[in-house]
Amino acid sequence: MGLLDKVKRGKKETTAANETIYKNQPQQIPGMDAGAQAQSENDKFVESVNQRISSLENDLGKLNTTTDGLKRNIGEIRTELEAMKENVKLVVSLYEMVSKDFNPFMDTTPEEIKAITDKMREEMEDMNRKITSAISDLGELYGTPNLDAIISEMDREDSNDQ
């Protein structure tokens, strides 16, 4: 393994090996010394890094602007959502008020009216008992037959016949 190994491989491999060697070494520009050339390459590198940094700063500024816009939009959506919640609450309250007036299964009678109707119902039942008692007393007094007893006896006879 010596110098002849590279020659045997062929011209393509030799040029590829030489290219890799030259890529790693700074190229010499005729008329410039090595220090000036190194300074020139450093300046180019610094300039390209500065351009990249300014490009990133611009992109970052655009992202900040976009983020601020999105935050504003989210705030507006949140406000609209709260307004919608309030509207839904109002509609539900209105629905409940209306349905109470028309719902036959809900008792919306005030307590005072309930007390009055209960009292009237008791008085009517008492009056009905008194009327029934008076009719039966009059029947006994004048000797009229008890029609209710006769009708109930006839119903019993009919049910026994069946």
The two tokens of residue 23 are 């890529």
The residue range of the domain holding 85 is: 31-107
Q: Which residue has the tokens 């816009």?
A: 69
Residue 24 lies in a domain: no
**Domain final position from 92, 107, 122:** 107
Residues 90 and 154 in one domain: no
Residue 22 lies in a domain: no
Amino acid (1-letter code) at residue 69: G
Residue 23 lies in a domain: no
Alpha carbon distance 127, 5 (integer Å): 136
Alpha carbon distance 134, 147 (integer Å): 14
Residue 11 lies in a domain: no
- Write the pLDDT tens digit of every residue in 83-127: 999 999 888 888 877 776 666 666 666 777 778 888 999 999 999
Domain count of the chain?
2
Largest alpha-carbon pair distance within the chain?
158
What pTM does this model have? Answer: 0.35
